[in-house]
Amino acid sequence: MTSKLNLVVLGKQGAGKGTQSQLLCERYGLIHISTGDILRAAVQNGTALGRQVKSILDAGQLVSDDLVNQLVEDRLSEPDAEPGAVLDGFPRNIGQAQALERILGDGGVKLCVYIDLPNELVLQRLSSRRVCQECGTTYVDTDIAAISGTCEVCGGDVVQRSDDRPEAIQQRLETFERDTFPLLSFYEQRNLLVKVNGDQSVEKVANDIDELIAGRGVA
């Protein structure tokens, strides 16, 4: 599996991980793996693991690392993952990072991209975010759709999610600092970590990431 281009994208909530991960997939022909997506897909597909995930989520509990690791491993074994993957939201902690090394083997992760954004900008971005409950289209609070409460794409209700309120954002930042921030040292020790300034346009962040990938000669 070492010839594949597997990239890990890390960053605080609101740093643009999802956007940049999608762009990386488009540019390099990779699949996008996010924890939320594979959990939802497993439940929707009704596999044995999916039924297990559903029962856990229905009970309001957290899915264990072992179960998430197995879902990621299964996804990485599918044919469309042959060129490689952009892992967004996985790993979330050292244990998951070690599991990913086991899954991919030595040299499996080619680069870890950390999109850096100060906490005050995270609070600003997320607290101003509004999301359509039907199609997931994202707006900022000054957009007409956000003000009117009606999505311009599908006509659904545009709302502020409960986890985008300041008190919830602060809790998520604390979780990131505790569980995910140590991953920076984990990948830095392996000479795989590169950092990008997230306080730039989407295009500039994407360009900076491309330059770092080219500079490392991994693609």
Residue pair 8/91 in contact by the 8 Å Cβ criterion: yes
Does 146 fall in a domain?
A: no
Give the β-pairing of 6-11 and 129-132: unpaired
> Catalytic residue numbers?
17, 92, 129, 161, 172
**What's residue 58's pLDDT?**
85
Percentage of the chain lying above the pLDDT 90 cut: 76
- Note the pLDDT tens digit of each residue in 19-52: 999 999 999 999 999 988 888 888 888 888 889 9
Sign, CA dihedral 144-149-155-156, equals positive
Dist CA 200 CA 76 (whole Å): 31
| Rounded distance between C-alpha atoms, residue 207 and residue 219, angstroms | 14
What CATH number did the domain enclosing 25 receive? Answer: 3.40.50.300
Structure tokens at 185: 């040292």
Assess if residue 48 is contained within a domain.
yes
Q: How many domains does the chain have?
A: 1
3-class secondary structure, 193:
strand
Q: What is the average per-residue pLDDT within 101-128? A: 93
Q: Is residue 1 part of a domain?
A: no
Q: pLDDT band at 162, cuts 50/70/90?
A: confident
Provide the domain limits for residue 30.
6-117+180-216
* pTM of the full structure: 0.86
The percent of residues in the chain predicted with pLDDT above 70, rounded, is: 99
91 within domain boundaries: yes
- List of E strands, 89-199: 109-116, 129-132, 138-140, 158-159, 193-197
The predicted structure's pLDDT at residue 3: 66
Q: Give me the pLDDT at residue 2, please.
A: 43
Which token pair is 111? 């680069």
